[in-house]
Chain A
Amino acid sequence: MSDVADAPEAARPITSRRDPRYEVVMYRHVGVDGAWKLDYYRSHGGYEAATKALTQMSPSEVIDEVKASKLRGRGGAGFPTGVKWSFMPPVDGRQRLLVVNADESEPGSFKDRYIMEDDPHQLIEGMIIGCYAIQATKAMIYIRGEYAKGYERLMGAIREARQAGILGKNVLGTDVEVDITVHRGAGAYICGEETALMNSLEGLRGNPRLKPPFPAQAGVYGLPTTINNVTTMTSVVHIITRGAHWFSSMGTDDSKGTKLYQISGPVERPGVYELPMGASFRELIYDLAGGPKGGEAKGFFPGGSSTPPLPWTDEYLDMPMDYGSLAKAGSMLGTGGVIVIPKEKDIVDAMYNVVRFYAHESCGKCTPCREGIATWLPKMYQKLLAGLGTREDLDLMEDMVRNSRGTAFCPLADACAMPVQASFKWFRDEYEYIVDHGKPMYTKNDWWDA
């Protein structure tokens, strides 16, 4: 137990890695050679949380503990996990399913990959606790196809766990049953959207489904299903071990606990960093990642390429990385994947890259997304970059993205439209420059280190 748990109720919340009370927990063993083996995991306290949950707590007590911790889903939307679990219908004899979304395909996000490669038992332990809480005996991990190493490590860890009686009919010597199937995707961003993921899991094309019904009512195979992100599951492990109070002693009013942030783009030390929620972008970008290479940046995506970028000002750099602050700033926390945009990268070129991504990944089901985001928008960017754009084109582009908001089954069109809108808001001068001069404001085009 951490001594933080004994801190008085009124103690100041932990919102910085500089706070001596803060401890890295989820990434403690990531990067250690052999940490993916059961022996290693068990000799470092592994499966003690699952044992505690299964032998000392009832399923509803587990749900209450997770609710009390105020954990919000780490996949991007930030829905309270305990509340989501309580949406499962009463036990009625039907198979119940826990599905872990390990599709991790939001550009700028790479936190789950290393957990699955280096510490897969941490995920399995979280899943056992999750299954127990929602009383599901079957769990599935939907892992993106490219993560071949993670797939291999998970399969190995599940084999080990079955042999050791950690998975199967009698989990850890109790009468709880849990087994896990790993389902490998094959390259489709949209399958990270939970209803598309369910279709993909069922052997259909990965098109999104209409909600409602929500997965808890009719999920995979029409069965009651709960879908959680990888690091939501691993957060649960530590909540059970250290208690809800430990978790909620970190963070801000609407965002509690410890979270994995990622930082990419040209910075000195890119990577995944675990921080208490409420830490500032400056702490991540400068103190941990060493700041932009060459010193100058003009903006950043706060939580993956779907989140509206923000300009490089003290106001935004000093903002806490939590759900509420970002919403107030007109952006989103998303997956916490910060992408730094260097000053010399022309915003029109950068946004064309982003738009091209969504164009490639649109499933083609809904007209506004297929025709607007996937067809016309990239063509407009090509026209600008070819030096053929007009001021009217800029208005048309803004009009197009505004009108594609909220018009499709799933959030993919919005995920593209919102950052485009923000790029116009903050960097319109660069759009106007390329139109007026026929060439970009910034022309640097070699970003490869020799």
Chain B
Amino acid sequence: MIELDTVPPFFADKQELVDEILGRYPEVGKRSAVMPLLWEVQNTERHVSEARIVEIAEILGIHPTEVKGVMSFYSEYHGEPVGTYHLQVCSTLSCSLVGSDQLYDYLVEKLGIVNGETDAEGRFSIQKVECLGSCGTGPVLQVNDIYYERVTRSRCDQLLEALKRDEVPEAWRERGGDNVGAEKAEIVDGAAGLGAAGNADTGEGEG
């Protein structure tokens, strides 16, 4: 509990933010704010410490154990600090069928850490996660909040090198299927169009 006395409170100077979050829910649903409040802390501090759990409990008028109970239910909240770049490798079937197991092994080999670990510098941590909803563009690697899709060996190297220089590339958003814009969707007007419909894969950066 020493932490409680030494760490300055997180929400003390953020009353407006707290009010905005509480205002999203009806009066009866004040407790709904627990997840967004946990997100606010984690987005800034990359994990949620005991002291922050106590703070959130005070805001909501519930017991810290209840906050912790919610937090521990979800796999994205971290009770311990993770690396500056938290690498989340999808390991579910669709990604596995296009190489996510090998991608994970490659990261382990390159970084010298395994699932659940953070490196000595605190730069990288690895977490094997379940389906990220990027099944058509796997294997997918989520770094903090950003998706990098269709990660090949060479692109994986590029990404790690960039992150080592503290350069965070734009999301790699891959395109396929009808996910390519209006013109492509219009092609389908008969048998001849069918094969061409899902071809494009621009992987353009974010606008």
Across the interface, name the chain A residue whose C-beta is closest to B186: A24
**Shortest beta-carbon distance, B150 to chain A, in Å?**
9
Chain A residues 63-116 with CB under 8 Å of chain B are 95, 104-110, 112-114
Mark contacts of A416-450 with chain B using CB atoms, 8 A cut-off: 1 yes-contact digit, 0 otherwise: 00000000000000000000000000000111111
Across the interface, name the chain A residue whose C-beta is closest to B188: A17
From known contacts A146-B133, A339-B97, infer whether A33 and B207 are also in contact, taking CB-CB under 8 Å: yes
Q: Is A187 in contact with B129, judged by CB distance below 8 angstroms?
A: yes
* Cα–Cα distance between A149 and B206 once the two chains are bound (Å): 10
Binds A, one of B2-10, B29-37, B79-87: B29-37
Binds A, one of B11-19, B88-96, B115-123, B160-168: B88-96
B interface residue count range (under 10 / 10 to 19 / 20 to 34 / 35 or more)? 35 or more
Besides A204-B31, A264-B138, 8 more A-B contacts (Cβ < 8 Å) are A24-B188, A107-B135, A108-B135, A149-B145, A184-B36, A187-B74, A288-B198, A447-B101
Q: Is B184 in contact with A108, judged by CB distance below 8 angstroms?
A: no
Which listed residue, B31, B74, B175, B177, touches A273 by the CB 8 Å rule?
A: B177
**Shortest beta-carbon distance, B160 to chain A, in Å?**
15
Name the residue in B91, B132, B137, B139 with the highest tally of chain A Cβ atoms < 10 Å from its Cβ: B132
Q: Is A447 in contact with B207, judged by CB distance below 8 angstroms?
A: no
Q: Is B74 in contact with A31, judged by CB distance below 8 angstroms?
A: no
Which listed residue, B99, B101, B207, touches A34 by the CB 8 Å rule?
A: B207
**Shortest beta-carbon distance, B35 to chain A, in Å?**
6
Chain A residues 161-195 with CB under 8 Å of chain B are 181, 183-189
Name the residue in A32, A220, A447 with the highest tally of chain B Cβ atoms < 10 Å from its Cβ: A447
Q: Is A269 in contact with B177, judged by CB distance below 8 angstroms?
A: yes
Mark contacts of A25-36 with chain B using CB atoms, 8 A cut-off: 1 yes-contact digit, 0 otherwise: 001111111100
From known contacts A447-B102, A448-B102, infer whether A354 and B178 are also in contact, taking CB-CB under 8 Å: no
* Cα–Cα distance between A138 and B94 once the two chains are bound (Å): 36
* Cα–Cα distance between A350 and B97 once the two chains are bound (Å): 9
Chain B residues 21-47 with CB under 8 Å of chain A are 24-26, 28-29, 31-36, 38-39
B64 close to A (CB within 8 Å): no
- A-B CB proximity, top 9 nearest: A271-B177, A448-B99, A271-B176, A186-B74, A203-B31, A264-B135, A187-B76, A448-B102, A148-B145
From known contacts A17-B188, A146-B133, A353-B93, infer whether A181 and B24 are also in contact, taking CB-CB under 8 Å: yes
Residues of A near B184 (CB, < 8 A) are 31
A145 close to B (CB within 8 Å): yes
Could you pull out 12 A-B pairs where Cβ atoms are within 8 angstroms? A20-B190, A28-B185, A29-B182, A189-B131, A203-B34, A205-B70, A221-B26, A270-B177, A273-B198, A283-B194, A447-B99, A449-B99
A interface residue count range (under 10 / 10 to 19 / 20 to 34 / 35 or more)? 35 or more
Across the interface, name the chain A residue whose C-beta is closest to B30: A203
Which listed residue, B38, B98, B130, B176, touches A266 by the CB 8 Å rule?
A: B98
Interface of A is mostly: loop
Residues of A near B25 (CB, < 8 A) are 181
Q: Is B94 in contact with A108, judged by CB distance below 8 angstroms?
A: yes
**Shortest beta-carbon distance, A88 to chain B, in Å?**
17
Which residues on B are within 8 Å of A, measured CB to CB?
24-26, 28-29, 31-36, 38-39, 60, 69-70, 73-77, 91-94, 96-103, 106, 129-139, 142, 145-147, 152-154, 171, 175-182, 184-186, 188-191, 194-195, 197-199, 204, 207
A265 close to B (CB within 8 Å): yes
Q: Is B35 in contact with A183, judged by CB distance below 8 angstroms?
A: yes
Across the interface, name the chain A residue whose C-beta is closest to B97: A265
Residues of A near B188 (CB, < 8 A) are 17, 22, 24
A296 close to B (CB within 8 Å): no
A370 close to B (CB within 8 Å): no
Which listed residue, A147, A201, A265, A269, touches B176 by the CB 8 Å rule?
A: A269
Which listed residue, A18, A147, A446, touches B133 by the CB 8 Å rule?
A: A147
Q: Is A145 in contact with B131, judged by CB distance below 8 angstroms?
A: no
Name the residue in A34, A270, A340 with the highest tally of chain B Cβ atoms < 10 Å from its Cβ: A270
Residues of A near B181 (CB, < 8 A) are 29-33
Q: Is B75 in contact with A187, judged by CB distance below 8 angstroms?
A: yes
Across the interface, name the chain A residue whose C-beta is closest to B146: A148
Residues of B near A363 (CB, < 8 A) are 73
A361 close to B (CB within 8 Å): yes
Q: Is B94 in contact with A186, judged by CB distance below 8 angstroms?
A: no
**Shortest beta-carbon distance, A450 to chain B, in Å?**
6
A209 close to B (CB within 8 Å): no
Mark contacts of A396-416 with chain B using CB atoms, 8 A cut-off: 1 yes-contact digit, 0 otherwise: 000000000000000000000
